[in-house]
């Protein structure tokens, strides 16, 4: 994918350039289990986001960075779990 770049690495940052970005595959999974307690549902869940830990590795830094130069997944591999309690939980 071509992404526009207007950062400090440019000879003329106003003109910018198109850079070829790497390919990403972002995959997540979630498992849940519902338990009925006196007509109320308790849902236990766990999951993982960005299983392959794909991320953009060429971020700019500093005061003159290009804040719009973001093209990859925003979060690293994330494991989560929790519970929901209530009626009509799907």
Whether 6 maps to a domain, the answer reads: no
Closest CA to 52 of 34, 32, 28, 35: 28
Whether 4 maps to a domain, the answer reads: no
Provide the residue-wise pLDDT of the chain in tens; the chain has 90 residues. Answer: 888 888 777 777 678 888 888 888 899 999 999 999 998 999 999 999 999 999 888 878 888 888 888 888 888 999 999 999 998 776
> 41 φ, ψ to 5°?
-100, 135
**Tokens 């000879």 sit on residue:** 11
DSSP 49: E
Evaluate if pTM is beyond 0.85.
Answer: no
Whether 5 maps to a domain, the answer reads: no
Residue 5 has a CB neighbour count (10 Å cut-off) of 19
Q: How many domains does the chain have?
A: 1
Whether 15 maps to a domain, the answer reads: no
Q: Print the domain residue range for 72.
A: 25-90
Tell me what pLDDT residue 90 has: 65
Tell me what pLDDT residue 13 has: 67
């Amino acid at each position: 994918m071509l992404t526009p770049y207007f950062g400090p690495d440019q000879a003329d940052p106003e003109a910018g350039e198109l850079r070829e970005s790497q390919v990403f595959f972002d995959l997540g999974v979630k498992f849940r289990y519902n338990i009925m307690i006196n007509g109320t549902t308790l849902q236990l869940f766990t999951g993982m986001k960005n299983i392959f830990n794909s991320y953009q590795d060429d971020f700019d830094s500093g005061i003159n960075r290009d804040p719009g130069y973001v093209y990859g997944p925003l979060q690293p591999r994330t494991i989560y779990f929790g519970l929901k309690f209530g009626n009509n939980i799907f």
